[in-house]
């Protein structure tokens, strides 16, 4: 589903943020991407979704190159940044319908998705309020609803649990599992290593722009906790 091949990103001032990164996310994978602040996680994610241009390597989504056909790639994915910027002059429902219109989602399909997810997140009564009145957590819930409304094949999430209350975080984990069990793929960054260990079937660890470990959770952690392995690997790399 997602192939990152020898990907490198150097910023105009000369800083190399990511160096020769190769990761493969297969159908059904719930793939965690972890590293310290500044390790290159967000740079990689922004390159996958077409926000940042890059020269070295390639990123392939379902057989299509992000470099060569970015629009087709964007049709297949949904991206949620760690601090989503939403159209605050719209109501929550107007925003969801806007996203559904962009992706040409039928009226029946969007209604079903919006009703199900609004109920799951407990924000049915807030959808007619302006987004400007939403808390950070409510904006995160709305962004997640917008991600699911067009039934993407690939979800790219940057710190998806930031700002969520415990109930919403539990709901998101359930939605992520269902999405992958239905054949979708998720690639997400997180600082919450305990959650990553329980949630992910595969993991990649990045330090200073370089991949230092990747594989199944069992291969990486063996009998240790992910936190212990992460600290050992990043301290010794």
**Mean pLDDT along residues 131-140:** 91
Taking a C-beta distance cutoff of 8 angstroms, is the pair 13, 53 a contact? no
Looking at the chain, the whole-number percentage of residues with pLDDT higher than 90 is 81
CA atoms within 13 A on the CB side of 102: 17
Residue 132 CB coordination number (10 Å): 12
Q: Which of 7, 4, 5, 1 is nearest to 209 (CA)?
A: 7
The pLDDT value recorded for residue 25 is 98
- What pLDDT sits at residue 235? 85
Q: Across residues 146-158, what is the average pLDDT?
A: 95
- Please say if the pLDDT value at position 165 is more than 90: no
Digit-coded pLDDT (tens) for 15-24: 899 999 999 9
Query: Which range, 34-38, 90-94, 157-161, 168-172, has the best average confidence (pLDDT)?
Result: 90-94
Residue 19, pLDDT score:
96
Identify whether the C-beta of residue 185 lies closer than 8 Å to the C-beta of residue 155.
yes
**Beta bridge partners of residue 114, listed in sequence order:** none
CB atoms within 10 A of CB 18: 25
Instruction: Report the CATH number of the 2-84+153-236 domain.
Output: 3.40.50.300
Evaluate whether 19 touches 56 at the Cβ level (below 8 Å).
no
- Res 115 pLDDT > 80: yes
Decide: 195 and 32 in contact? Cβ < 8 Å.
Answer: no
Q: What is the mean pLDDT of residues 105-119?
A: 96
Report the chain's mean pLDDT, rounded to a whole number: 93
Res 14 pLDDT > 90: no
Coil, helix or strand for 210?
strand
Q: Is the pLDDT of residue 152 over 90?
A: yes
Question: Is the model's pLDDT at 204 over the cut of 70?
Answer: yes
Question: pLDDT at position 72, please?
Answer: 94
Average confidence (pLDDT) over 58-86? 93
Does the pLDDT at position 237 exceed 70? no
**Structural domain boundaries of the chain?**
2-84+153-236
């Amino acid at each position: 589903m997602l192939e990152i091949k020898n990907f490198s990103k150097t910023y105009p001032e000369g800083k190399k943020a990511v160096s020769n990164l190769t990761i493969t996310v297969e159908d059904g994978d719930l793939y965690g991407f972890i590293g310290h602040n500044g390790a290159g996680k967000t740079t990689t994610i922004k390159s996958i979704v077409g926000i940042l241009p890059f020269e070295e390597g390639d990123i392939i989504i379902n057989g299509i190159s992000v470099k060569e056909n970015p629009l087709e790639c964007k049709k297949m994915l949904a991206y949620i940044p760690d601090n989503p910027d939403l159209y605050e002059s719209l109501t929550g429902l107007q925003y969801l319908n806007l996203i559904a219109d962009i992706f040409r989602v039928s009226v029946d399909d969007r209604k079903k998705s919006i009703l199900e997810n609004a109920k799951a997140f407990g924000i049915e009564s807030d959808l007619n309020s302006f987004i400007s009145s939403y808390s950070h957590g409510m904006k995160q819930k709305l962004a997640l609803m917008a991600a699911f409304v067009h039934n993407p094949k690939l979800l790219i999430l940057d710190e998806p649990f930031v700002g969520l209350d415990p109930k919403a975080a539990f709901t998101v984990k359930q939605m992520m599992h269902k999405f992958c069990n239905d054949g979708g793929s998720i690639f997400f960054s997180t600082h919450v290593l305990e959650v990553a260990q329980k949630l992910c079937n595969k993991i990649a660890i990045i330090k200073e722009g370089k991949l230092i470990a990747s594989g199944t959770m069992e291969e990486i952690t063996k009998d240790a906790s992910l936190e212990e392995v992460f600290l050992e690997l990043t301290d010794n790399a």
